[in-house]
Structure 1
Amino acid sequence: MNALTPFVAHSDRTLLRKNGTVGILERLCVVIEPTDTQKDNAKDKYEAVGNWLADAPQYLFSAARISPQGSFALGTATKPLNGLEYDVDLLCRFTAFAGGLGPVDLKRVLGDRLRENGTYRFILQEMPRCWRLNFAGEFHMDITPSVPNAVCRNGGELVPDKKLRAWKPTNPSGYLKLFEKRAALTPIMRLRKALAAMDSRGTVDPFPEHIGFKGILRRIVQLLKRHRDIYFETADESLRPISVILTTLAARAYEFCVGKYVFDSEFDVMLAVVSSMPYYIESYTQYGKPQWYVANETTEGENFAEKWNLHPERAAAFFEWHRQILADVEHLATLEGSDQVTKSLAQAFGSQPVNQVVAAMAEEINMARQHRMLSVAPKIGIVTGASAVPRATPVRSNTFYGRK
């Protein structure tokens, strides 16, 4: 891997501008992820399906373990564009599997049990490796059967492949644990030291707030997925890089960057992660053709980029998209003024959610002004909560007559 350019310290003005952009991006992530109501709905459907499978009288289901996987389990789900449905993924592990059924037969057993339900039989659809329940107008739920992979030291699984009529290795639980471990890593920031040095009597948190409870890695993944969806909105859907590739590359890049560098802001962490992602794509030439490999590190034999080798245009589409998102993130770092930032964000992540965020922030500023909680601090600009900022000058309430 080539060495990354060290992230050098910038001026206070640049740091605070970047931090403000991160605050907008954090709010944007809240807008583009499923609402609490949608999460609760998915949870209720998941529990109902899980209980139906767990209560089956067949011996195979007696020790089955049903668990969520994918973006809902990782905490990186985003709203699909144009009213499309959410994708909720489940894994049904047949831990009591005795080796008597092959991949096709095991999948059939799962499908038969789902058809026994008077509701599920009418919304059931067979997919290459799973069964899909289409909950109209809400989301679809993909339920994949699996058996333990005896040769995987990390407790991996084998799932059926209809086309190949064979088992394919995977390890969603191991993948989740590794992702959570990486997401828990915390970058070292110069920014907090810089803010502390600005005034010896206290520190100032810029308005709006920093990255929230989700953590930086999960927010980066959500932004990657959203940018991808906007970029490929009018393109062939098959060209869109699948989410697990974006998630894997971002997680590996995040782990490396957090362990290697000290950053000025969360924005610089995102920039470092985005720029580093291609380093974790393996490639080689076979019979004169490029072969691509994005490994599932938690099991052997699973290549998330396997379809790139059958459809090289998908690899080309990924690199074209990556050049665009890197350019968009780099451009954001150069912008000054809310109009420029809003326009750039809308082009990259969609106008509707960005305008929603900007409108909400404007309303908060207006409310803070009315309650005399809006101030102008030296070297910082508009902040809320003047009492926390030494030498901050209150901003007068705004009326039609220009006076209180």
Structure 2
Amino acid sequence: MIDIFDNYILQREELLARIAQELQLDKTRLERMESAYNAVAELLKKDEDFFDGLIIEVYAQGSKRIGTTVRPINEEDFDLDVVLHIYDPYYNHTPEQIYNALVKALEKHAYYKSIMEKKKRCVRLNYKSDFHMDILPACMPNYFEKEMIKIPEKALRNWSSGNPKGFSGWFLGIANSVKEPMLRKYADVLLEAQIETEELPKELYLKTPLQRTVQLLKRYRDIYFQNRDYRVSSVVITTLTAQLYQGESSIFEAIDNIVSRIRSNYTDALNRGYKFKVLNPVNPEEDFTDSWTSQHYESFYNFVTDFYKKWQNLKDSFETSKEDYIELFGEGVYKKSLNEQFRMFSKSTNNPLAKSSGLIVGGTAYTNAKGNINTDTGLKNGAHHNFGGEY
């Protein structure tokens, strides 16, 4: 059996997966959000005014759809973006008409009326259970392109184009192109250590390196821009990451290579005298950076460079990278993930420091008269949940 503590690369990879797993929305919240937009769909389908006789679908877009959710920091609400997809050509309606129809249908219901907030081109429902849902009404461009949508512009006078289903299919196609992810290769061996421990979520070792890369980059984005302006959007991070992914089998290699490629492409654009652009891969006419000012560009490059510098310190050992893990992903998340890793694998390791640390973390350690840590005799040590990663 593989001893994870004798294999730094594998231990680092498993830890990164744990950190990303810890960062994402939990199953309960995901189910609550899914229930919320399904309830809205049922309400609209029963509407006897505008939606009567129309075929509609309400579905999530963005991180929920592609499996890259990240919990907000500082107790902020999670922004759930959903599409109200009306399977009718846009030229049968005006942008203002479909927007007002959505508002009117929701206002008929006392609860939705009480939590509804009108935005420029979407309707927001502010749920008390730590998330809000932005509903974007949209129509088809014609009778043939059923995945494409026409979206009301902010002034509700014109339409713009979108393709959230196409984008998610594009991203997941690239994510699933990886041949043999490192953690899937060792999954059976690693999962043997589950004996007498809590059951691991199945997706811990199953999510692709690209999905984990997006989660970890977005986490540092949230930390980096807590007190900075010109925040980089999730769609820019997600698009760039997928465009520059080349099938790397590990989370670490994917991040290391992708961030290097972003920096290289950015400086190459500057040296050649043209703007660095991030275009929608399923709708090239849409430029995700079209509103960027010089401050946005500077902020973006500083963010990527700062991440890159910290990331380099993760290449050697945990002894030299503890503070960088904390700065990249947050102290609580890092320590909890490391604690759980030690508790899980300490029973199957021959590394004395890792074994004793795992016993202390798990609260099953005794110290005998000779000062040796064991599981049977001596003074029982209290459970320690703040192991800082000195190993």
Q: Does 1:162 align with 2:116?
A: no
Q: After superposition, what is the alpha-carbon deviation per residue over 1:332-383, rounded to whole angstroms, capped at 9, x for unaligned?
A: 113343xx333220111111111211222333355x2xxxx33249xxx968
SS at match of 2:328: helix
Aligned to 2:367: 399
Aligned to 1:307: 291
Structure-2-length-normalised TM-score: 0.78
Distance 1:79 1:60, change over 3 A: same
- The residue aligned with 1:222 is 215
Secondary structure (helix, strand or coil) at the match of 2:343 reads: helix
CA distance 1:98–1:301, change in 2 (3 Å): closer
Matches within 5 A, 1:203-352: 212-236=205-229, 239-254=230-245, 257-258=246-247, 265-277=250-262, 291-308=275-292, 311-337=293-319, 340-352=320-332
SS in 2 for 1:306: coil
Using the alignment, how far apart are the partners of 1:169 and 1:283 within structure 2? 30
Deviation at 1:131, TM superposition (A): 0.8
If asked which structure has higher relative contact order (CA below 8 Å, sep 6+), I would say: 1
**Aligned partner of 2:22: which letter?**
V
C-alpha contact (below 8 Å) 1:156/1:299 kept by paired residues: no
2:291 maps to amino acid: K
Q: Which residue of 1 aligns with 2:17?
A: 26
CA contact (8 A) 1:280 1:294 kept: no
Letter in 1 for 2:168: L
Question: In 2 relative to 1, CA 151–313 (structure 1 residues): closer, same or farther, beyond 3 Å?
Answer: farther
Are 1:281 and 1:294, in contact at CA under 8 Å, matched by a contact in 2? Answer: no
Query: 2:208 and 2:156 mapped to 1: Cα distance?
Result: 39
Per-residue deviation at 1:398?
Answer: 5.5
AA aligned opposite 2:48: P
Q: Deviations over 1:247-296 (max 9, x none)?
A: 00001111xx22xxx77x542222112222356779989xxx96553111
Q: Which moved more, 1:127-136 or 1:154-163?
A: 154-163
Q: Which residue pairs with 1:101 in the alignment?
A: 93
Identity in percent: 23
Whether the 8 Å CA contact 1:160–1:166 is kept in 2: the answer is yes
1:375: which partner in 2? 350
Query: Judging changes above 3 Å, is the alpha-carbon distance between structure 1 residues 14 and 362 closer, same or farther for their aligned structure 2 residues?
Result: closer
User: For the residues of structure 2 that align with 1:268 and 1:248, how far apart are their CA atoms?
Assistant: 18
Q: Aligned in 2, Cα 1:191/1:365: closer, same or farther, shift over 3 Å?
A: closer
The residue type equivalent to 1:186 in the other structure is: V
Kindly provide the amino acid, as one letter, of the partner of residue 101 in structure 1: H
Amino acid at match of 2:339: A
Structure 1, 40-49 or 156-165: larger mean CA deviation: 156-165
Counterpart in 1 of 2:343?
Answer: 363
Range 354-363 or range 124-133, more displaced: 354-363
Q: 1:272 to 1:400 in 2, by over 3 A?
A: same
> 1:312, CA displacement in angstroms?
2.7
Aligned residue pair count: 351
CA distances 1:76-134 after superposition (whole Å, capped 9, x unpaired)? 11100100001111111111246242212221111111111111111111222211111
Determine the structure 2 residue equivalent to 1:80.
72
Which residue of 2 is the match for residue 129 of structure 1? 121
The answer (yes or no) to whether the contact 2:183–2:205 under 8 Å persists in 1 is no
Q: Does the CA contact (< 8 Å) of 2:23 and 2:71 recur in 1?
A: yes
How far 1:16 moved relative to its partner?
Answer: 3.1
CA distance in 1: counterparts of 2:114 and 2:304, whole angstroms = 40
Q: 1:145: how far off?
A: 0.7
- What TM-score comes out, normalization by structure 1 length? 0.76
| Worse-matched range after superposition: 16-25 or 345-354 | 16-25
Shift of 1:173: 0.5
Instruction: Check whether the contact 1:20–1:207 (CA below 8 A) recurs between aligned residues.
Output: no
CA contact (8 A) 1:132 1:141 kept: yes
Q: Partner of 1:389 in structure 2?
A: none
- Per the TM alignment, residue 15 of structure 1 is displaced from its structure 2 partner at its CA by 10
Amino acid at match of 2:136: T
8 Å contact 2:15–2:337 — kept in the other structure?
A: yes
Instruction: Report SS of the residue matched to 2:60.
Output: strand
User: How well do the aligned residues superpose, as a CA RMSD in angstroms?
Assistant: 3.6
- 8 Å Cα contact 2:181-2:209 kept in structure 1: no
Gaps of at least 5 residues in structure 1 are 1-12, 196-202, 385-396
Q: Within 2, Cα distance between the matches of 1:40 and 1:191?
A: 26
Contact 1:95 1:147 (C-alpha < 8 Å) held by counterparts: yes
Alpha-carbon shift at residue 226 of structure 1 (Å): 0.1
